[in-house]
Amino acid sequence: MAAAASDNRLQRLSPEADARILIVEDDDDDVRLIRRLLRQAPISLEVQSVGDGSKALDYLESIGCAEDPRMPDLILLDINMPVMDGPRFLALLRSHPEFRALPVVALTTSSDVDTVRRAYDSGANAVINKVDSLDGMSQIVNTIVDFWFRIARRYYVE
């Protein structure tokens, strides 16, 4: 797994975006792949990424409140990361009064039932296994976008 080379991956937000996604992932290759697949989505997405749960909380705290237009509409969270792993991040997110309703899809390479259960117990809205194939990851990312931004109602009312 390649370690996240830089935490300067936060980009300027686009006011034209239909939705915003925060990727919390320490593997640069996975970040590049997910970003590439999200660029192919049928809606305009603004994508930010950070390398661990601690940096994700710092990013959310810098925004401050859930009503801020920079707040992500969805978080894609790697479960196994250094510094602060996914379940610890989820526990802190769910205990925060401003951020506890943010939807989180946890991604993992593990097939261990306890890992999946721990992610759900910590507050994940969904847990999905990462796959090694481009087609498989493309299908996963397309399904996530379709469900969270076309089928499910967003956690806030516009």
The packing angle between helices 28-39 and 134-146, to 10°, is: 60
77 domain residue, yes or no = yes
43 domain residue, yes or no = yes
87 domain residue, yes or no = yes
Distance CA 95, CA 100 (A): 6
157 domain residue, yes or no = no
10 domain residue, yes or no = no
Q: Give me the pLDDT at residue 135, please.
A: 93
Instruction: Assess whether pLDDT exceeds 70 at residue 4.
Output: no
Q: Give me the pLDDT at residue 90, please.
A: 96
Distance CA 21, CA 5 (A): 20
Q: What percent of the chain lies above the pLDDT cut of 90?
A: 68
The larger pLDDT score, comparing residue 155 to residue 67, is at 67
Lowest-pLDDT choice from 10-19, 95-104, 120-129: 10-19
144 domain residue, yes or no = yes
Confidence of residue 15 (pLDDT cuts 50, 70, 90): low
**Beta strands, E only, the chain:** 19-24, 45-50, 74-78, 104-108, 126-129
Output Rg (C-alpha) for the chain, integer angstroms: 14
**DSSP 3-state of 10:** coil
Domain coverage including residue 74: 19-151
**Beta strands, E only, 36-116:** 45-50, 74-78, 104-108
Placement of tokens 């076309």 in the chain: 150
Confidence of residue 156 (pLDDT cuts 50, 70, 90): low
Confidence of residue 118 (pLDDT cuts 50, 70, 90): very high
Dihedral sign (CA 117, 123, 126, 131): negative
9 domain residue, yes or no = no
If one counts the domains in the chain, the total is 1
The number of residues making up the chain comes to: 158
Instruction: Assess whether pLDDT exceeds 80 at residue 11.
Output: no
Confidence of residue 152 (pLDDT cuts 50, 70, 90): confident
* Burial class of residue 8 (count of CB atoms within 10 Å of its CB; 0-12, 13-18, 19+): exposed
CATH number of the domain within which 48 lies: 3.40.50.2300
Question: Which pTM does this prediction carry?
Answer: 0.87
Instruction: Assess whether pLDDT exceeds 60 at residue 104.
Output: yes
Confidence of residue 14 (pLDDT cuts 50, 70, 90): low
